[in-house]
């Protein structure tokens, strides 16, 4: 079974840091680009970051650029999101997602999501 499982969320104070992890199983992780997508309470989906299969290309939404860092460990089948200088507006459920293929910019597998709450 193809699975993505996020971990590492929780409550953090404004200005603090948090690291999310996403464990992949059931597919060849190193063959797929990955992304983080978030959803604030009661709101829509917002793309956060993209990382190519070989980590050579990494992109960020303007709202998190300079504060968040995506990385991956293909040997460990894991994706990470380091979040620094957190703000109240970063409060959201964070999903990791698999890009369907290099030629198809769509996400066909999603994790269950992890809640991050930034308190002021």
Binding site for another protein (CB under 8 A): 35, 37, 44-47, 50, 59, 61-62, 95, 100, 104-108, 110-113
How far apart are alpha carbons 104 and 93 in whole angstroms? Answer: 25
CB 104 to another protein: min, Å: 6
Asked whether the beta carbons of 51 and 36 are under 8 A apart, the reply is no
CB 80 to another protein: min, Å: 19
Nearest to another protein of 75, 104 (CB atom): 104
How far apart are alpha carbons 105 and 82 in whole angstroms? Answer: 23
Nearest to another protein of 17, 101 (CB atom): 101
CB 120 to another protein: min, Å: 25
Nearest to another protein of 18, 48 (CB atom): 48
Asked whether the beta carbons of 59 and 74 are under 8 A apart, the reply is no
Nearest to another protein of 59, 73 (CB atom): 59
Asked whether the beta carbons of 21 and 114 are under 8 A apart, the reply is no
Question: What would the two tokens of residue 71 be?
Answer: 């990385």
Supply φ then ψ for residue 89, to 5 degrees: -75, -5
CB 62 to another protein: min, Å: 7
């Amino acid at each position: 079974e193809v699975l993505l499982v996020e971990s590492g969320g929780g409550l953090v104070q404004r200005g603090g840091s948090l690291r999310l992890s996403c464990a992949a199983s059931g597919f060849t992780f190193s063959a797929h680009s990955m992304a983080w997508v978030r959803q604030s309470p009661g709101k829509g989906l917002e793309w956060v970051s993209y990382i190519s299969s070989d980590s050579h290309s990494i992109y960020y939404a303007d709202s998190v650029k300079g504060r968040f860092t995506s990385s991956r460990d293909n040997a460990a089948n894991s994706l990470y999101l380091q979040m620094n200088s957190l703000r109240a507006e970063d409060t959201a459920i964070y999903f990791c997602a698999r890009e369907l293929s290099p030629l198809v910019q769509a996400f066909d597998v999603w994790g269950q999501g992890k809640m991050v709450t930034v308190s002021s």
